[in-house]
Amino acid sequence: MTSPAPHIFTLTGNLLAERTLDFASWQPGRTQRATRESFQVGGKGINVSKMLGRLGTPSTALCFTGGATGAECEAWFRERNFPHRAFAASRSTRTGTVVRGGVQPETTFLGTDVPPDAAAVQACAEFLDAQPDGQVLALCGSFPGCSDGYFAPLFAALERWLVRGTLMADTYGQMLFWVAVRPLAVVKINAEEYRRFDAQRRVLSAENLRETARLSPVRHWVVTDGPRKVWMCEARGEPASLTPPPAVEVSATGSGDVMFAGMLHCLRRAGRSVPEAVNFALPFASANAAHPGVADFPLPVLTSI
C-alpha cells in the first residue's frame, strides 16, 4: 500500500488585492471609463495554489492579510472555498490594478510592498511548526521586511522544515539570498532574477549555471527565460535545457507561477525527476501566456503524469 502524497503549502510573503479594469480602448494621459471591473487575489503563492487546484493537487495557501483590503481578500477566499490560512497583520494588504483593452498591452500597476508585522510572522512560524513531518512548503515571491530581525521566528521555522520536510522556492530579493545557501530541493527563478542574484555571472548560460550550482547547496536550480530555453542544473551536475512550446503571447503574467505549480504537482509523485517535472509544466506555462488572467486558460489535453 502506497503512502499518501505529502500536502503542499504555498507561502506568499506579499499578498495582492487586485482589480482588473477592462476598456474598449485606452490611452495614457486621459480619463478612461472601464466597461468591466473584477476583483481577484494575487501574489505568487496564490497563483501557484490556484493552478495546483486546477491540476487536482490539494494545497493550502498561507498568506498575511490586513485592513479592509485584507478582509476583501479573505472574503474572496471564502466565496471560492479556496484552501488558505491567513495570518492577521496590522497594515493593509497591498493593492494593484490590471488595465486591459484596445491596442495597448496589458499593464499592471502595483502598490507599495507591505511587510507583515512581528505578530503575523510569529503566527506563521508557529503554524509551520505545528504541521506534521514530511510535507512540502513552497516559498513564493518576495518577502518584504525579511531582512529585519523580527523575521527570526519564521527563518528558524524554515530551518526546522528543511530537516523534517521538503522546502522549495520561487522567490527573489533577500529571501533568494537566504535560500541559495541552504539545501532546498528546488529553487526556480527567472533569468532577470538570476542576473540580479549572481552579480559575477550576469549572463544566463550553461557554464554560469553550472558554477552557480557548484557553489550552492541547493539540490536543483531551474531558471526560466520567458519563451526561451529553461535551464536546469543539479548540484555539481551538468546543465540541461528544455524549450517551451511556442505560444502567441497575450499576457505573460503568472506564467512562471503556473509553471512552478506544474512542477510541484509532478514532483510530489515519488520518483519523478526535476527535468520530468519541468517538461510536464512547460505546456501549462505557455498556455497561460496565450490567455489573459492567471491559471484561467483551457487545460492542455494531457494533464496527468
Q: What is the pLDDT of residue 134?
A: 96
Sheet holding 95-100, edge to edge: 36-42, 16-22, 95-100, 107-110
Q: What is the pLDDT of residue 58?
A: 94
Mean pLDDT score across all residues of the chain: 92
Identify the band that residue 3 occupies on the pLDDT scale cut at 50, 70 and 90: low
Q: What is the pLDDT of residue 200?
A: 65
Give yes or no for residue 230 having a pLDDT over 90: yes
| Torsion angle of the four alpha carbons 31, 24, 286, 109, in this order, in degrees rounded to the nearest 10 | 10
Distance, CA of 51 to CA of 284 (rounded, Å): 9
Q: Cβ(63)–Cβ(87) under 8 Å?
A: yes
3-state secondary structure of 40: strand
Distance, CA of 171 to CA of 166 (rounded, Å): 16
Burial 54-73 (b: 16+ CB within 10 A, else e): bbebebbbbbbbbbebbebb
Q: What is the pLDDT of residue 258?
A: 96
Homologous superfamily (CATH) for 8-24+37-289:
Ribokinase (3.40.1190.20)
Mean pLDDT for the stretch of residues 271-292: 91
Tell me: the pLDDT tens digits for 94-130? 999 999 888 888 889 999 999 999 999 999 999 999 9
φ, ψ for residue 28, nearest 5 deg: -60, 145
Give yes or no for residue 270 having a pLDDT over 60: no
Tell me: the pLDDT tens digits for 123-160? 999 999 999 999 999 999 999 999 999 999 999 999 99
Q: What is the pLDDT of residue 105?
A: 85
Three-state DSSP string of 41-59: EECHHHHHHHHHHHCCCCE
Mean pLDDT for the stretch of residues 204-226: 93
Give yes or no for residue 199 having a pLDDT over 70: no
| Domain residue spans of the chain | 8-24+37-289
Q: 6-15, 71-80, 246-255: which has the minimum mean pLDDT?
A: 246-255
Closest CA to 166 of 270, 80, 33, 22: 270
C-alpha to C-alpha distances, 209 to 7, 225, 230, 264, 278, nearest whole angstrom:
30, 13, 11, 22, 16
Q: Cβ(288)–Cβ(261) under 8 Å?
A: no
Distance, CA of 235 to CA of 233 (rounded, Å): 6
Residue found under cell 498556455? 287
φ, ψ for residue 18, nearest 5 deg: -120, 135
Q: Cβ(261)–Cβ(46) under 8 Å?
A: no
Distance, CA of 287 to CA of 252 (rounded, Å): 10
